[in-house]
Copies of this chain bind each other. A is one copy, B any other.
Amino acid sequence: MTTTTATPTGPHVDHYPSRVEPEPSITPRRDPVAYPDTTGSLPHPLDTAEVERFDRDGYLVLEGLFGEDEAQAYLDELTRLSDRDDVSADPRTILEPEDDEVRSVFEVHAVSERFDALLRDSRLVDAARQLLGGSVYLHQSRVNLKPALRGKEFFWHSDFETWHVEDGMPRMRALSCSIALTENNEFNGPLMVVPGSHRWYVACVGKTPERHYEQSLRRQEYGVPDHESLRRLVERGGIDAPKGRAGSVVVFDCNMMHASGVNLSPYPRSTVFVVYNSVENALVAPFGVDEPRPTYIASREAAPVT
């Protein structure tokens, strides 16, 4: 399963081996970023310049895609969720290691009707369809709370590397939307990206232990890129941390190298995070572990969003 091949022959060929070799490596991406519309009938809410920017940089900021009143309504819903005892006790909920406050709720579209409606909103889905060149499904969704004056940092990583190795996502044809429910500023641990890094694949070292996800959502140990590869990517593209008011959305490619810092502001920072994957890129058996992660982390049903 970890054999590379020059001619892609099917979804079970591993086009992006990682956690296999003893040394890290950095190689060019083998898939498009912005996919063409082969149907000729896809919605195209994004203009050509936006599509080109996404293709080149790997991300796009849609300032004010949602109104501040909408963001506030979703924030209220998030507060209600995080106060619910059944949500805290749900296996789909990740708690802060120190004090068991809610940090994330996975598969939030199944937990909350309001969030389900948000993640099927055409403002998001049509952009995803346009960029991925066809129908998409919800690969993952979650809400993230970064409590005021703490909240852990997330080290640099490519989501695709993990989704490929631990979930079996075969190719790079997925994107994430980070929907700000609170303002993103320099001090509250915003998303940081390395522009252009999505065009390179950093293979990591270390064999993944089974059921690794139970720890990895709290602390990262596998799928962590090496410092030399990171330095090379930052030397090419620098670092950007898109700021914006509540309701803004950052759309970024599945292989974008990204991170976020600690929230040192005295206000919580909340975001909704959703991954749209092309229905033509549905999951197969994981490329690096025997047992795939739970479906609330990586959906194995490629039911198109309608």
Contacts and interface: CB of A to CB of B under 8 A. Distances in A.
Contacts of A156: 149, 264
Interface string A175-211: 0000000000011000010000000000000000000
Contacts of A259: 264
A238 to B, nearest CB: 9
A234 B153 contact: no
A149 B192 contact: no
A262 B187 CA distance: 12
B187 A265 contact: no
Contact of A227 (B148, B234, B241): B148
A230 interface: yes
Nearest to A154: B264
Contact of A264 (B153, B264, B266): B153
Contacts of A264: 153, 155-156, 192, 239, 259, 261
Given A149-B156, A149-B227, A227-B148, A187 B239 contact: yes
A187 to B, nearest CB: 5
Contacts of A231: 148, 266-267
Nearest to A186: B186
A25 B265 CA distance: 20
A262 B265 contact: no
A102 to B, nearest CB: 17
A259 B231 CA distance: 26
Interface of A: 148-149, 153, 155-156, 186-187, 192, 227, 230-231, 234-235, 239, 241, 259, 261-262, 264-267
